[in-house]
Structure 1
Amino acid sequence: MAEQGSKNLKVAIVGSGLIGQNWAMIFAGAGYQPCLFDVDEGQLSRALEGTRQTLSKYEKEGQLRGKGTASEQADRIKGTNSLQECLDGAFYVQECVPENLDLKKKVFGEMDSLATDDMILASSSSCLCASSFAADLKHKQNTLVAHPVNPPYFLPLVEIVPAEFTCPEVAKKTRSLMEEIGQSPITLKYECRGFALNRIQYACINECWNMYKTGLLSAEDIDKICTDGLGLRYAIIGPLETMHLNANGIKDYCERYAQGAVEVQKETFHPLPVMYDTETAEKIEQELQSTLPLEKLQDRRVWRDGMLAGLAKYKNDSNK
């Protein structure tokens, strides 16, 4: 928990969409003073009011993170339409603009011209590596990716992805900061497109897509594999520990099951990459709409976040 005193508590959040709002609430709950930036004055006003209302809602539901009341946390969050004002005095910047390479190049170029030599410039990018938009910056050694998982307020994982030119100390400081504010960081040893989480997620989606396309299972039953099977397990332990526990250690698991796994893959896996085609998507959507029509998606997202909040609280309480 950050404390007042000589320590610099200001962080800059560039982009006031939902991810930016989540970052602001997380930092505010940890005692920092986040400043949200957006060129759209209307969006910025909605974001500031949205964070206040959301924190109040979380407080009423027993889901508020950090210390202090919802009102106290909301008061720590400021907003501005001036990028210079947003970055002025900040030691850490979290960029949260849409996943568009040209836009990120533009935003990082503008931040670079305002940054100090010791300011960390982190991107929330989910697939784009820092080398694709920061290689020509004056302060490129201070840039990296700090990719959150949506919604980051309840899903604490953050992928820290340094570029080849990122100073190792910057990656180390970013990881320490993420741990301090209650997130759960992992650090990739080198850049790769899609980082780690999306590579695992895409592998899962690929097999789900192939099973549906070949008529093996309905969309509902495919999702059940995770919600009533793998997902419950992986919420507690990961796939490598699963292997370790499902035999007398992971070496024993491989000696028992590796050949069988290879045979299954040879017989059922499809060549990569798997294209998520419109024809199959339309069929899946038709099935999903019978229980979850498009106009109900926002209600379902709210339900999802509530369930994730409960799971996060249970895991946190269980680990104390």
Structure 2
Amino acid sequence: MASTSTDHPPVAVVGAGLIGVAWAICFARAGHPVHLNDRNDEILAAALEVVAAALDDMAEFDLLAGRSPKEVLAHIRPRVDLADALAGVVHVQECAPETIPDKSAIFERMGELTGPETVLASSTSAFVPSLFTRGVRHRERCLVAHPINPPYLVPLVQLVPAPWTDPAVVARTERLMVAAGQSPIVLKREADGFVVNRLQGALIHEALRIVDEGVAGPGEIDLAIAKGLGLRWSFMGPFETMELNAPAGIRDYVERYGGLYRRIIGVEDAEPLWTGRALDVIEADRTARLDRDRIGERQRWRDRRLMDLVASLRAAEKRTRWSPA
């Protein structure tokens, strides 16, 4: 059954750089008409060439939702004039330069050019939305929708509301992202670094410290993630990993290994984090997701998922082997 324009309303992507191009692919693959905006035709023409090359590669791996590269590319319509790009769209994904003045200026202009029903989302990885949406007309429709690059391959999107963002706007954006094949997470409030950069930053900081202390080299650290933690983390997060590594669940894991981690981390607030309210919240969440008497069953699922992943990675290594020479 053919989709209708109501199923896939037009969206705009403002800024045709690396992230803007990636967002255009995401929305076009999902069937949305995409108005791709930048300051001149030359930039837009170069962006479409990048899109076309990426679509050809994605088609080779069957990642275009049953569409051909030509069909997806046809959904992307270059627009130099911003007002033209924003006309009739339900969602705007801003991908302007990462400065507060640039973000503020483009959001205020987009606010004047669109009605209150149009969601204005920023791809920023550096700023919480209250820093650049305060002066926007109908600012309650503004939020951050931060992707992980490239979003057409890595589906996570962090939705970050400003203090004045309408919860209905967040929910609407979440539905749009899910329908486009993304995996959104909704932050309860603004936080510098959002979720992913805080997690990634902690890991990078510790990796730098290991190198600085002469414990291991960069290659060993990369291997520790790629062939160790990263295998499990590709399909489950740290809390489920902890839960499945102890017979009685996550509190059992903390009781067994919490002292070790608190000693390694060596920060003053480690004790309450490992034994206080956070653990209660995490345990309640995990219990709601998995009955304790099914932990063994889930462990077997994890092992079979790892078997499938390892076999797939071995096959992928043969297909996509890279040589530095």
Q: TM-score range by the shorter chain?
A: 0.7 to 0.9
Matched residue, 2:158: 159
Q: 1:126–1:147: 8 Å Cα contact kept in structure 2?
A: yes
Distance (Å, rounded) in 1 between the aligned partners of 2:160 and 2:6 = 29
Distance (Å, rounded) in 2 between the aligned partners of 1:90 and 1:9 = 7
CA deviation profile, 1:241-296 (whole Å, cap 9, x unmatched) = 111011020011111111221122229xxxxxxxxxxxxxxxxxxxxxxxxxxxxx
Per the TM alignment, residue 68 of structure 1 is displaced from its structure 2 partner at its CA by 2.2
Q: 2:12–2:34: 8 Å Cα contact kept in structure 1?
A: yes
Matched residue, 1:225: 224
Counterpart secondary structure, 1:154? coil
Distance (Å, rounded) in 2 between the aligned partners of 1:68 and 1:202 = 37
The change in CA–CA distance for 1:6 and 1:266 in structure 2 (over 3 A counts) is closer
CA deviation profile, 1:64-119 (whole Å, cap 9, x unmatched) = 32232110111110011100000001010000112221111111111111011100
The change in CA–CA distance for 1:109 and 1:186 in structure 2 (over 3 A counts) is same
Q: Comparing 50-59 with 101-110, which one deviates more in the overlay? A: 50-59
Q: 1:37–1:83: 8 Å Cα contact kept in structure 2?
A: yes
Per the TM alignment, residue 57 of structure 1 is displaced from its structure 2 partner at its CA by 2.9
CA deviation profile, 1:106-165 (whole Å, cap 9, x unmatched) = 111111110111000000011211100001111210000000001111100000001110
Matched residue, 2:57: 57
Counterpart secondary structure, 2:92? strand
Counterpart secondary structure, 2:54? helix
Distance (Å, rounded) in 1 between the aligned partners of 2:206 and 2:53 = 40
Matched residue, 1:94: 93
1:38-57 alignment runs, 5 A limit: 38-57=38-57
Distance (Å, rounded) in 2 between the aligned partners of 1:5 and 1:25 = 18
Q: 1:8–1:90: 8 Å Cα contact kept in structure 2?
A: no
Between Structure 1 and Structure 2, how many residues are aligned?
A: 271
1:297-308 alignment runs, 5 A limit: none
Counterpart amino acid of residue 34 in structure 2: P
Structure 2 unaligned blocks of 5 or more: 268-311, 317-325
Q: 1:8–1:91: 8 Å Cα contact kept in structure 2?
A: no
CA deviation profile, 1:158-181 (whole Å, cap 9, x unmatched) = 000011100000000000110001
Per the TM alignment, residue 5 of structure 1 is displaced from its structure 2 partner at its CA by 4.3
Seq. identity, %? 40
Distance (Å, rounded) in 1 between the aligned partners of 2:5 and 2:29 = 17
Matched residue, 2:322: none
1:136-285 alignment runs, 5 A limit: 136-247=135-246, 248-266=248-266
Q: 2:161–2:170: 8 Å Cα contact kept in structure 1?
A: yes
Distance (Å, rounded) in 1 between the aligned partners of 2:265 and 2:34 = 48
Structure 1 unaligned blocks of 5 or more: 268-306, 312-320
Indicate whether 1:9 and 2:14 are aligned: no
Distance (Å, rounded) in 2 between the aligned partners of 1:266 and 1:84 = 54
Distance (Å, rounded) in 1 between the aligned partners of 2:87 and 2:262 = 55
The change in CA–CA distance for 1:266 and 1:41 in structure 2 (over 3 A counts) is same
Q: 1:2–1:30: 8 Å Cα contact kept in structure 2?
A: no
Q: 2:8–2:33: 8 Å Cα contact kept in structure 1?
A: no
Per the TM alignment, residue 7 of structure 1 is displaced from its structure 2 partner at its CA by 5.0
The change in CA–CA distance for 1:2 and 1:255 in structure 2 (over 3 A counts) is farther
Per the TM alignment, residue 8 of structure 1 is displaced from its structure 2 partner at its CA by 6.1
Per the TM alignment, residue 50 of structure 1 is displaced from its structure 2 partner at its CA by 2.0
Distance (Å, rounded) in 2 between the aligned partners of 1:253 and 1:6 = 49
Counterpart secondary structure, 2:126? coil
Counterpart secondary structure, 2:266? helix
The change in CA–CA distance for 1:54 and 1:264 in structure 2 (over 3 A counts) is closer
Q: 1:94–1:124: 8 Å Cα contact kept in structure 2?
A: yes
Q: 1:31–1:67: 8 Å Cα contact kept in structure 2?
A: no
Distance (Å, rounded) in 1 between the aligned partners of 2:184 and 2:2 = 18
Matched residue, 1:37: 37
Counterpart secondary structure, 1:195? coil
Counterpart amino acid of residue 194 in structure 1: G
Distance (Å, rounded) in 1 between the aligned partners of 2:8 and 2:227 = 45
Counterpart amino acid of residue 91 in structure 1: V
Counterpart secondary structure, 1:79? strand
Per the TM alignment, residue 189 of structure 1 is displaced from its structure 2 partner at its CA by 0.2
Indicate whether 1:122 and 2:152 are aligned: no
Counterpart secondary structure, 1:155? coil
Q: Comparing 39-48 with 138-147, which one deviates more in the overlay? A: 39-48
Per the TM alignment, residue 192 of structure 1 is displaced from its structure 2 partner at its CA by 0.6
Q: Comparing 166-175 with 64-73, which one deviates more in the overlay? A: 64-73
Per the TM alignment, residue 225 of structure 1 is displaced from its structure 2 partner at its CA by 1.1
Counterpart secondary structure, 1:78? strand
Matched residue, 2:18: 18
